[in-house]
Amino acid sequence: MSSHLHLPLTPHWLLWPQPWVWLLALLPVLPPLAWWWLRHPLRQRTFRLPGVSVLAGAAGAWRGRLMGVLPALRVVALAALIVAAARPQRVSESSVTYAEGVAIQFVLDVSSSMGNPDLDRQARRSRLEIAKDVFLRFVNGDGRELAGRPNDLIGVITFARYADHVCPLTLDRDALQKLTQPIATISEQHDRAQREFADLARRTYPANPEALYREMLRRKLLSSEHQPDPGQLQALAGQVGASEADLRAMIGAYARWEQFAREDGTAIGDGLALAVERLRDLRRATGSNTELTIASRVVVLLTDGENNAGNLSPKEAAELAALHGIRVYSVLVGREEADRAGAAGFARATETLREVAELSGGRFFRARDPRSLANIYAEIDRLERTRVEERSFIQMGELAAPFLMAALACLGAQSLLGSTWLRKAH
């Protein structure tokens, strides 16, 4: 991926290529000084005090009072000409970053088994929490093994029974982190929706929330097969003294609770196929001040078990990736002794994920603790390198024209006034 990052021009300083021209400013001053020095030697230097004649002359006509305008215009014109002759220039600097990197699609298992804390028994962090932590360190850098991937397009897909597109391929690291942090396992999402429904029931009908739940079931307001009947909804709201909006919020929370109860599973093939679909037609991308040409596309697939759901098998998805020149790095996480699948299940998962990696030209990795997972990401970081070159450019803009125009305007005004209204004063 080649990127061209164009930073806006920023003025830094003024340049004077011909500073000697400033000496011209002395030319109008030297003759009067020499004349004054010759007429007034140092030993005869005296001071003249204003007298009555000076006061009398101050009351001349308006043309006399404007006599100073013509010399002032000549002085301003001369000053502007001197500045223009010195050729002032505005110096602006810009930089262009040329990068050759990759488009990386992360495919992350969020089935309930990813909530197992076997990778970090002391901190009791789940497999998913550790996977997210190491992934964000891979993206942003940790100052140690991982340098970060600032010049790569990175996106995130999650899967359990179904695959979901969480974050599109992007260079925006803040958006990527914001969308990745809330990712949770299906069981966590199920429990969260259940708690949300229970809290809403208690707030809607504090006297007997369980009775409200049973009544909503009886009236078929919580059925996933059809929309709730507006008449039944209005009647129940009047019966319990609640608003229809509160009851609709309960219906929405129940739908999510029921949905997550059906979504557990491990559809590795579908998750990988969705990643291939996002990457296969990616040739160019445009962002803020950035133009990208995609040269390398990879998938990092992380799971803890066997494929048991979905429409495509992992092998079929891997063949699809190979067809489009997309490499797959597959990572199996978890400890055999702490998983209900046991050694046999991990052996089958290892065989499947190894085949996926080999078919697509990638590599298979095995992680049993946070350290080994970090080492895997560091190895992927080394395998998929990004080359960055930054060039700076200096742009100069001539500023003499405005001063030259000002000088011409002053001379024109002086000539016009001197030959018309101020002719006598001149």
Contact 397, 89 (CB under 8 A): yes
For residue 180, the model assigns a pLDDT of 95
CA dihedral 189, 194, 200, 206 (to 10 degrees): -150
Domain-ending residue, one of 262, 291, 306: 262
Residue 424 lies inside a defined structural domain of this protein = no
Nearest one of 329, 399, 334 to 358, comparing CA atoms: 329
62-90 pLDDT, tens digit each: 556 665 677 777 777 777 777 767 677 77
- Cα separation, 253 vs 360, in Å, equals 41
Residue 381 lies inside a defined structural domain of this protein = yes
Contact 137, 146 (CB under 8 A): yes
Same domain, 211 and 288: no
β pairing state of 364-367 and 327-333: parallel
Q: 375 φ, ψ to 5°?
A: -65, -35
Residue 28 lies inside a defined structural domain of this protein = yes
Residue linked to tokens 């998938």: 299
Residue 390 lies inside a defined structural domain of this protein = no
307-349 pLDDT, tens digit each: 999 999 999 999 999 999 999 999 999 988 766 667 788 899 9
Same domain, 286 and 167: yes
pLDDT over 70 at 93, yes or no: no
Cα distances (angstroms) measured from residue 359 to each of 305, 322, 329: 19, 7, 11
pLDDT over 50 at 8, yes or no: no
Same domain, 59 and 160: no
Beta carbons within 8 Å of 335's beta carbon, 6+ residues apart: 118, 119, 368
Nearest one of 144, 178, 180, 169 to 374, comparing CA atoms: 144
Quick one: which H or E segment has residue 397?
Answer: strand 387-398
345-391 pLDDT, tens digit each: 889 999 999 999 999 999 999 999 999 999 999 999 888 765 545 55
Domain-ending residue, one of 231, 262, 293: 262
- Lowest mean per-residue pLDDT among 56-65, 105-114, 191-200, 396-405: 56-65
Helices in 156-208 by DSSP H: which ranges?
Answer: 173-180, 186-204
- Cα separation, 421 vs 414, in Å, equals 11
Same domain, 294 and 331: yes
Number of compact structural domains in the chain:
3
Same domain, 131 and 272: yes
Residue linked to tokens 């990616």: 282
- Cα separation, 367 vs 356, in Å, equals 17
How many Cβ atoms are within 10 Å of 63's Cβ, its own excluded?
Answer: 14
For residue 419, the model assigns a pLDDT of 74
Same domain, 323 and 341: yes
> The pTM is what?
0.67
Same domain, 66 and 86: yes
Nearest one of 63, 65, 79 to 418, comparing CA atoms: 63
Residue 376 lies inside a defined structural domain of this protein = yes
pLDDT over 70 at 293, yes or no: no
> How many Cα neighbours within 13 Å face the side chain of 107?
32
Average pLDDT over residues 282-310: 76
Could you tell me which residue, 269 or 17, shows the higher pLDDT? 269
> How many Cα neighbours within 13 Å face the side chain of 108?
29
Same domain, 207 and 311: no
Cα distances (angstroms) measured from residue 108 to each of 129, 299, 319, 347, 379: 11, 10, 19, 20, 18
Q: Take residue 281 and report the two structure tokens written for it.
A: 């037609």
For residue 107, the model assigns a pLDDT of 98
Same domain, 172 and 269: yes
Could you tell me which residue, 288 or 301, shows the higher pLDDT? 301
Residue 239 lies inside a defined structural domain of this protein = yes
Residue 72 lies inside a defined structural domain of this protein = yes
Amino acid identity of residue 93, one-letter, is: E
Could you tell me which residue, 420 or 96, shows the higher pLDDT? 420
Domain-ending residue, one of 217, 233, 262: 262
For residue 342, the model assigns a pLDDT of 72
Residue 23 lies inside a defined structural domain of this protein = yes
Same domain, 215 and 325: no
Same domain, 256 and 327: no
Where in the sequence is the domain holding 18, given as residue range(s)?
Answer: 2-93+395-419
Tell me the β-bridge partners of 90: 14, 397
Could you tell me which residue, 227 or 67, shows the higher pLDDT? 227
How many Cβ atoms are within 10 Å of 358's Cβ, its own excluded?
Answer: 15
Average pLDDT over residues 146-172: 91
Same domain, 278 and 131: yes
For residue 386, the model assigns a pLDDT of 58
